[in-house]
Structure 1
Amino acid sequence: MKINTLNATLLAALVILAGCSKNTGIGGAAGDASETTLKANALFAQELKLDDQQDFENAKRGFIAKPSGKITTADGTVLKDFDAYNFLDGKAADTVNPSLWRHAQLNANFGLFKVSEGVYQLRGFDIANMTLIEGKKGWIVVDPLTARETSSAALAFANQHLGKKPVSAVIITHAHADHFGGVLGVVTPKEVAERNIPVVAPEGFMEEATSENILVGTAMARRSLYQFGRDLPRNAKGNVDTGLGKDVAYGTIGIIAPTVLVTQPEQKMDIDGVGFVFYNAPGAECPAEMTFSIPAKRLYDGAENLSQQMHNLLPVRGAKVRDALRWSNYMDHALEQVREADVYIASHNWPEWGNANIKKLITMHRDVYKYTHDQTVRLINAGYTIKEIPDLVKLPKSLSEYFGARGYYGDLRHNVKAVYQFYLGAYDGNPANLNPLPPQESAKRYLELIGGADKAVAAAQTAYDKGDYRWAAELLNHAVFGDPSSKTAKELLAKTYDQMGYVAEAATWRNSYLTAALELRNGPPAKGASKAMLMEMLLQTPIERFLEAMAAGLNGPDAEGKNLKVNLVLTDLKESYVLWIENSVLHFKKAAPADDANATLTLTRDIFVKMIAGTAGVKDTLLSDDLKIGGSKIDLVRFFGLIDKAPGTFAIVTK
């Protein structure tokens, strides 16, 4: 039967909608810097040569033009406000770590820059850089940003000032969305096919680009709001930077499958008359990543294995743990790859000029990751745990004084934990931590022992007044989790996070602390990350990724004892899958429709993806002739009703 006779109950079961959460905060605004914070930041300023101007000269070198105004989505949502960070002019604010303030100023050099002859960069249009290399026929675009809106604006800005050229090739250095998501803003799949435009990417690109954003995309998107400080105001008490660049553009994300893959450790290629040497570097910063050189231009592109700060081995938003030792080894190889290089560029931050300076940048990164790895392993073998080692590992002065490897995006303490987790997991070996109580239950019992939330808050206030913010936060976390109704605990914890954010050198830590304070005051976000902005990418994602995510969304307890089988027939792809629940597990296989299935859902790929993403409307479903149902509608409702529809608004600091 056709879907236009389907009742509303079935539609609700099929379409995954974003949920809402209540505002449970305390209100108020971020506080001023405390005396402890002022002293800590003043000490930071004394210990570092913050007046060193070489990075500022490099960040401004080759400047051609600066954009103004805003970049918006079709509905008027602002993705980029080029004036939002004007407050960074001048000396460091009391509420920002002075080292981070310096880095934030460097990243605030927006615009179009000439790096060398025939090589240009657009910085500040998104968190990443777009690089344009002049070929014989047009622009070779390297890393086309996160969103279609920002990449389109960046390319138009370059064409305005450099003369309009067609896109002759696209190079995507790795499988993170801020480097490929804007590809449809510079070229379309139709153009790629008709003009035979090469789209070059590392081996494994499509698999990695689509898997990370589908399987645990809801949780990563929620946690990314902390890492990138999306909802924070752009001011000295809020978002000043992300470390890698300014704010991420949460716009329309797309993808195009590569037409050329780099599969060898070293692979030469001529692209539109320009000779490239690509170096495959998987499994460090990204599971699929490559760097490259252009020997004729004496240029080396470090992608995101190299940037002007320490990177993270485990992002605050969450990801698979990265291999510090492998990363260090890639940097050692890079020293050979830059033997003739005079210009270094990368996917983030500003370039470096001069072979000696380039080698120093690479050497420092090599040794930061190797030192972090080796010292963590040494202390692991001495019996120290994941909670102890971060306070024991300190970089030697030769590394810590080098601005290009300081922890503005990654953080040494967090990276140490990542190395521990890489080898031993999060468990510290102490049986008391094998089966601990859930945090809410543990917090309630701590409060009972202390004598209630008020006493915990009083003790935390004493710690706060002494500037002992780590202890205050630990006490108040128990108070908030154990007694969610305590507005006093939330208010003091928000104030504590303010101060911890104000002294943090890592932009990711600052954004996390200040976002936590924001949510304590105002509650978690009302809506999760919009799936609509991912549609252009999701429509290119293999169906298997969606089925894996559906399986991971099955509510196991609710599925106990239920054995249901559903055929999924995708008419436009001429593919079919059999999905079945067995032992509270959702399985699937690509196969002809099963005769014993409870129901058969026949539809196009586009409608199926829109349903899963929660963007399907009435025209896509009730009014569509492209969707049919055979068998039991009731069983189909039961089947899809067992799939949890996570809205991505879960509380983090107010559970």
Structure 2
Amino acid sequence: MLISNGKQKLTSFTKNYKEAVIEITSGVWFVFGVGHSNAIFIEGATSILLIDTLDSLERGKKLANIIRNHTEKKVKTILYTHGHPDHRGGAGAFSESVSEIIAFEPKMAELEKTAFLKDIQTLRGARQFGYALDDNEAISQGIGIREGVVYGEQRAFVSPTTCYQQDKVIREIDGIQLELVRLVGESEDQMMIWLPQKEVLCCGDNYFGCFPNLYAIRGGQYRNLATWINSIDFMLSYPAKYLLAGHTALIQGKEKIHEVLTNYKNAMDYVLNETLKGMNEGKNAEQLASEIHLPAEYADLPYLGEYYGCVEWTVREIYAAYLGWFDGNPTNLHPLSPEQKASKTVKLMGGKENVFAAAQTALKDRDYQWCLELCDLLIQIDIDKTILEVKATALEKIAEYETSANGRHYYIACAKELRNKISKEFPDNDVVL
């Protein structure tokens, strides 16, 4: 979301991630702010059950030390709430003692031949998470402190030894009763863990302390919003006294948990219903993305700020998932190529000089989105150093308005890429803005 004090809002939100190790109830510890994600460890009769392992080997070792400071028992069992690397990157720190690693198979398999997209998804993922940015540029990763990989740390993945295909599993491990449920949401393999003896519900990434990433700008398969809403409804059916999520702080008290999860679910349901309603009225994705916003009853809640996901991106993703790329306008069945459209548009606007002057004026007037769109018209016709410099500057400026850490990273990372391109391809020309 672009607002005048976007950077300040994101910076303020990031201050929530202070390191803490809390015994929330007898034998259950919550590790918060040590890694990009959280971890939970549970004391069994003779061993420790560990839920998630943080995001790097180095942080996994720190987690192992934390566990040793509270008990002499070894980690024998690991449960992955899901397969994202920030939740299992520290698993190698426990290889010598662990005997079982439990996970769920994805409910829906990844699209075949997705591997062909490895390069572009890696590039876009690095931009989204700000891997090439310093701490001042990146601030945070929205839902937690920055991943250890940005500081040169290594991931140490260990594959699950037990991977369930059914939706629900009841087990007792070392005296601890566990109900494991596959609840699709942030991912297709998301695991909810209910500890009935402790009244503790571990929900992985199906709840964040901010608006969720219902669409990841790095690209990926549709995260079925209706299914995610149903998953939250299912979580609400449990009498949890403690809610432990994969990235946000502890939520305590049955009434508070019910209130938070209900608002979270209702906000997602509002975006889905309003988007589908507008689609049915014949509106296109861009119209809806500009019109649909969270009502104040949700937008003003501290746990629904757009610091990670974004309502605007979600609306576009819902449109594409339900109706595909075609917006119903026959003009768009066989549009001009981007180059043809840019050439004709720039000519109609009086030529490249006029458009470039307008882009410079927009930059000075802080009309950064318009500046970027004008630059893109010119870049389609001819890649010129001065245009690239103006675009890079506009990207840096608009990043200061972005509340989403992902969006902020993407703007700044692309600006840095443009400046690198300028220095390599146009080394001898000065730029005057």
Scaled by the length of structure 2, the TM-score of the pair is 0.89
Question: Which amino acid counterpart does residue 8 of structure 2 have in structure 1?
Answer: P
1:393 counterpart = 2:292 = yes
Cα pair 1:100 1:505 within 8 Å, conserved:
yes
Cα pair 1:183 1:254 within 8 Å, conserved:
yes
Question: Which amino acid counterpart does residue 223 of structure 2 have in structure 1?
Answer: R
Determine helix, strand or coil for the equivalent of 1:243.
coil
Cα pair 1:322 1:422 within 8 Å, conserved:
no
1:5-35 Cα distance to aligned partner (Å, 9 max, x none)? xxxxxxxxxxxxxxxxxxxxxxxxxxxxxxx
Equivalence for 2:428: none
Cα distance in 2 between the residues matched to 1:496 and 1:349: 33
Cα distance in 1 between the residues matched to 2:327 and 2:112: 30
1:557-615 Cα distance to aligned partner (Å, 9 max, x none)? xxxxxxxxxxxxxxxxxxxxxxxxxxxxxxxxxxxxxxxxxxxxxxxxxxxxxxxxxxx
Cα pair 2:346 2:352 within 8 Å, conserved:
yes
Per the alignment, do residues 498 and 119 of structure 1 end up closer, same or farther by CA in structure 2, a change over 3 Å counting?
same
Of the three residues 128, 136, 158, the one matched with 1:227 is: 128
Cα pair 1:203 1:261 within 8 Å, conserved:
yes
Per the alignment, do residues 332 and 428 of structure 1 end up closer, same or farther by CA in structure 2, a change over 3 Å counting?
same
Aligned-pair CA distance for 1:205: 8.3
Of the three residues 255, 263, 270, the one matched with 2:172 is: 270
1:513 counterpart = 2:411 = yes
Cα distance in 2 between the residues matched to 1:453 and 1:437: 19
Determine helix, strand or coil for the equivalent of 1:296.
coil
Question: Which amino acid counterpart does residue 507 of structure 1 have in structure 2?
Answer: A
Cα distance in 2 between the residues matched to 1:524 and 1:439: 23
Per the alignment, do residues 259 and 390 of structure 1 end up closer, same or farther by CA in structure 2, a change over 3 Å counting?
same
Cα pair 1:313 1:419 within 8 Å, conserved:
no
Cα pair 2:388 2:422 within 8 Å, conserved:
no
Question: Which amino acid counterpart does residue 259 of structure 1 have in structure 2?
Answer: T
Per the alignment, do residues 466 and 185 of structure 1 end up closer, same or farther by CA in structure 2, a change over 3 Å counting?
same
Equivalence for 2:246: 347
Cα distance in 2 between the residues matched to 1:134 and 1:464: 58
Cα pair 2:282 2:328 within 8 Å, conserved:
no
Determine helix, strand or coil for the equivalent of 1:306.
coil
Of the three residues 488, 494, 498, the one matched with 2:396 is: 498
Aligned-pair CA distance for 1:148: 2.7
Question: Which amino acid counterpart does residue 98 of structure 1 have in structure 2?
Answer: Q
Per the alignment, do residues 120 and 444 of structure 1 end up closer, same or farther by CA in structure 2, a change over 3 Å counting?
farther
Determine helix, strand or coil for the equivalent of 1:521.
helix
How does 1:103-252 map onto structure 2 within 5 Å? 103-107=13-17, 109-159=18-68, 161-187=69-95, 192=98, 197-204=99-106, 214-235=115-136, 238-250=137-149, 251-252=153-154
Per the alignment, do residues 184 and 213 of structure 1 end up closer, same or farther by CA in structure 2, a change over 3 Å counting?
farther
Cα distance in 2 between the residues matched to 1:212 and 1:184: 29
Structure 1 gap ranges (5+) = 1-36, 42-95, 527-655
Per the alignment, do residues 380 and 524 of structure 1 end up closer, same or farther by CA in structure 2, a change over 3 Å counting?
farther
Equivalence for 1:382: 281
Aligned-pair CA distance for 1:426: 2.5
Cα distance in 1 between the residues matched to 2:88 and 2:179: 20
Question: Which amino acid counterpart does residue 97 of structure 1 have in structure 2?
Answer: K
Equivalence for 2:360: 461
1:310 counterpart = 2:219 = no
Per the alignment, do residues 355 and 40 of structure 1 end up closer, same or farther by CA in structure 2, a change over 3 Å counting?
same
Aligned-pair CA distance for 1:169: 0.3
Question: Which amino acid counterpart does residue 216 of structure 2 have in structure 1?
Answer: P
Cα distance in 2 between the residues matched to 1:211 and 1:150: 34
Determine helix, strand or coil for the equivalent of 2:218.
coil
Per the alignment, do residues 458 and 306 of structure 1 end up closer, same or farther by CA in structure 2, a change over 3 Å counting?
same
Cα distance in 1 between the residues matched to 2:116 and 2:40: 30
1:71-104 Cα distance to aligned partner (Å, 9 max, x none)? xxxxxxxxxxxxxxxxxxxxxxxxx533222211
Structure 2 gap ranges (5+) = 425-433
Cα distance in 2 between the residues matched to 1:206 and 1:149: 32
Aligned-pair CA distance for 1:419: 0.8
Cα distance in 2 between the residues matched to 1:249 and 1:215: 27
Per the alignment, do residues 405 and 240 of structure 1 end up closer, same or farther by CA in structure 2, a change over 3 Å counting?
same
Cα distance in 1 between the residues matched to 2:402 and 2:343: 30
Aligned-pair CA distance for 1:443: 3.4
Scaled by the length of structure 1, the TM-score of the pair is 0.60
Of the three residues 459, 473, 496, the one matched with 2:372 is: 473
Cα distance in 2 between the residues matched to 1:206 and 1:134: 33
Equivalence for 1:565: none
1:432-479 Cα distance to aligned partner (Å, 9 max, x none)? 333334435543444344344432221122223333222221111222
Question: Which amino acid counterpart does residue 343 of structure 1 have in structure 2?
Answer: Y
Fraction of identical pairs, as percent: 26
Cα pair 1:145 1:182 within 8 Å, conserved:
yes
Cα distance in 2 between the residues matched to 1:493 and 1:381: 37
1:418 counterpart = 2:314 = no
Equivalence for 1:323: 224
Cα pair 1:122 1:131 within 8 Å, conserved:
yes
Determine helix, strand or coil for the equivalent of 1:405.
coil
Determine helix, strand or coil for the equivalent of 2:235.
helix
Aligned-pair CA distance for 1:517: 1.8
Equivalence for 2:334: 435
Aligned-pair CA distance for 1:207: 6.6
1:103-157 Cα distance to aligned partner (Å, 9 max, x none)? 11112x1353433332223334432112222222222111123333332233234
CA-based RMSD:
2.7
Question: Which amino acid counterpart does residue 32 of structure 2 have in structure 1?
Answer: R
Cα pair 1:168 1:272 within 8 Å, conserved:
no
Equivalence for 1:334: 235
Cα distance in 2 between the residues matched to 1:525 and 1:293: 55
Equivalence for 1:286: 187
